[in-house]
Amino acid sequence: MQYSDYTHGLAVQAGAPWKTMQELMAYAQNNPGKVRIGVMVVGSAQHLAMERLSRKTGVKFIIIPFGEGAATANLLGGHVEAIFSVNTFLPNVEAGQLRLLAVAGAGEKRWARFPNIPTLMELYGIDVPTFNGIGGPQGLPPHVVDTLHKAFKKAMEDPDFIKTSEKFATAIFYRGPEDLTKEVHRTFDIIADIVKELGLLRKE
């Protein structure tokens, strides 16, 4: 089962000239190679989403894999124009150091704490499928799957789980065994071409 969904955001410095995602993309289109976007590791959901966005819109920008915390640090230091990352940069947004231009994940719905920030799905039809789930070895008896599933699903109602999820801006998001299996296959379908194009397939 799936119990939560990552939340992602594209952010720039608070003093940057771009107030919207459209303004940043327009600048990048008019200045090829001038916009550097920091992401997590090569092959991460964030990296692949930015590659897909570039190909879909025809806008060229430089994608730099830093690692999670390093991307935010490099944006604050002015070494990149934007970052697309998970929610670790939220304290900087709430402190007024960074400005969110777009969000993704969490079922591709707007974040409740930033209702005025559009999603990449709204703007460009780009979703960022990521999920936190629980699985087991292949061949588990159905009654074992059912027992574990019910126990974990009930745990999602625990106040401490809900409080911790809210603290880290992680969206509580449920999918049962069949729906999660479908989502895994859907994710593979979405990223298969770009992973192959970028030469990221594991070589046997």
> What is the predicted pLDDT for the residue at 58?
94
The model's pLDDT over 193-203, given as tens digits with 9 standing for 90+, comes to 888 888 887 76
Contacting residues for 25 by C-beta, under 8 A, at least 6 apart? 57, 59
Task: Tell me the average pLDDT of the chain.
Answer: 91
What's the CATH class of domain 7-128+191-197?
Answer: alpha beta
> What is the predicted pLDDT for the residue at 101?
97
Per-residue pLDDT band at 30 (split at 50, 70, 90): very high
Integer Cα distance of 71 and 82 in angstroms: 9
Domain ranges of the chain: 7-128+191-197
Instruction: Give yes or no for residue 13 having a pLDDT over 80.
Output: yes
pTM of the model: 0.87
Helix or strand run (H / E) with residue 8: strand 7-13
